[in-house]
Amino acid sequence: MVHSPRDYSDRRDLQAIQRFVLESLERCVERFRQHQRPELIEAFVILGDPSSPMLHTILEDPRHPCYVAVINTLTTSNSTGLIERLLNALQSESTSLNVLNVISKRNDKIFIDHLLGYTNDEIPAKVVKNLERIHSFAWFQPSENGLENFCEEDQARLVRLVAVSGVKQDELLDLLETVLKNGGPKSRRAACEALASIQGVKANQILLDTLYDSDPNIQVACVRQLRDRHLAETKSILIQMVDSPHEVVREAARESLSEFTLANFLAGYESMSDDARRITAMLVKKVDLKIALGLCEELGSQSRKRRMRAIELAERLEVVPDVADKLIELLEDEDHMIRAAAAEILQYCPTAEAQEALLRAATDRSPAVQNAANSSLAVLSSFTIPANSLSPVEDTV
């Protein structure tokens, strides 16, 4: 009656009845040595207030005559009211360690199902604080209700719960490793996310073993942890991941290599050796998806130096076709060296528009521009280019 939804057609005062019954049960507790009836102690625990001074006294004294009966009730009872009170204790700032020990020993599914309710959303800070005081859970061990007997979704929720508890790091790592090897996608993802807060050789090895998981989302979770672990092979792994067949993995790898942008490349370009420029260009091309946009801005700069450098980078980054319109515009630049450089690299743009522009550049007033244009046209003549309204390039050349 106390723990069920209230029946308002019943006009009796349940709280008064509860107080009356508890007064009798408290006297039964005091006379337990005489009657030895554990069911009366169970009734006292189920109906009682968790803040009851008598209950607190029993829990704090393992030598109390009722201690075993109380602990047994707290550990085994399926009373909804008692389970709710145990879980409410997790939200208290002054929860008895004995109560937390009871929670850690409960291995029945009905209790664990209620406990998992805390993992539906972000686990409250007070609950986390109490979970940190729990150093083991009964369902850690193989049993009828062990972790391996839960569905995949519940395994994921249990992993999130254990990850914020006070379980020893080695035991937690063993759990995560087992789940990552044998669990379903959801539980493996939860295990991989839990791994992020653990440093050390074993954690690093587990992460590397999981890096090429069949689930792209788990690969993403691994990739995002690599930089924080400062592994010697991190950069080479991330470069491989940029070429992943899965877009989410490629995006995560690019985020982890975010220093390889065109802007940063331009900032350090002058101080780099040619080998460094070549290697960095390869990385920037893989990581920065806005290279063409950035180079177009540079090609339109008022600075001659920046325009010339952008032309060089267009070739080095192998994006000439992507910035061809700007390069064609530069064939009209006032500086003949800019015009010549633009004409020279348009050989990497086998389009009719580029050939038309080069034909015009071949009559430029500057011999240097003429030579560069004719050289590029000679290269482009080997390509098959869709015919347009102009005469065939082969005939013109």
164 belongs to a structural domain: no
345 belongs to a structural domain: yes
Return phi, psi of residue 25, to 5°: -65, -35
73 belongs to a structural domain: no
**Residue, of 334 and 21, whose pLDDT is higher:** 334
Confidence band (pLDDT; 50, 70, 90) for 337?
A: very high
Amino acid 344: pLDDT: 95
Written as one letter, the residue type at 390 is: L
Confidence band (pLDDT; 50, 70, 90) for 394?
A: very low
48 belongs to a structural domain: no
13 belongs to a structural domain: no
Q: Contact, 378 vs 355, CB < 8 A?
A: no
Collect all residues with Cβ–Cβ distance below 8 Å to 298 and sequence separation of at least 6. Answer: 266, 306, 307, 309, 310, 313
Give the whole-angstrom CA distance, residue 86 versus residue 81: 9
207 belongs to a structural domain: no
Confidence band (pLDDT; 50, 70, 90) for 395?
A: very low
Confidence band (pLDDT; 50, 70, 90) for 384?
A: low
Can you tell me the mean pLDDT for 381-395? 52
Where do we find the tokens 């515009």?
Answer: 329
Using only C-alpha atoms, what is the Rg of the chain? 36
Give the whole-angstrom CA distance, residue 257 versus residue 235: 8
How much of the chain exceeds pLDDT 70, in percent? 91
Mean per-residue pLDDT over the chain, rounded = 86
Total of domains in the chain = 1
Render pLDDT for 205-229 as a digit per residue (tens, 0 to 9): 999 999 999 999 999 999 999 999 9
Q: Contact, 294 vs 262, CB < 8 A?
A: yes
Asked if pLDDT for residue 31 goes beyond 50, the answer is yes
Can you tell me the mean pLDDT for 142-156? 73
Collect all residues with Cβ–Cβ distance below 8 Å to 128 and sequence separation of at least 6. Answer: 164
Give the whole-angstrom CA distance, residue 22 versus residue 20: 6
72 belongs to a structural domain: no
Q: Contact, 133 vs 97, CB < 8 A?
A: yes
Written as one letter, the residue type at 353 is: E
Domain of residue 356 covers 262-396
Asked if pLDDT for residue 37 goes beyond 90, the answer is no
DSSP-assigned letters across all residues of 308-333: HHHHHHHHHTT-GGGGHHHHHHHTT-
Render pLDDT for 81-91 as a digit per residue (tens, 0 to 9): 888 888 888 88
Render pLDDT for 232-258 as a digit per residue (tens, 0 to 9): 899 999 999 999 999 999 999 999 998
Collect all residues with Cβ–Cβ distance below 8 Å to 358 and sequence separation of at least 6. Answer: 331, 343, 346, 373, 376, 377, 380
Which among 155, 86, 103, 91 has a CA at the least distance from the CA of 128?
91
172 belongs to a structural domain: no
Q: How many CB atoms lie within 10 A of CB 251?
A: 16
What CATH number has the domain bearing residue 295?
1.25.10.10
Query: pTM score, two decimals?
Result: 0.70
Q: Token pair of 261, please? A: 């942008």
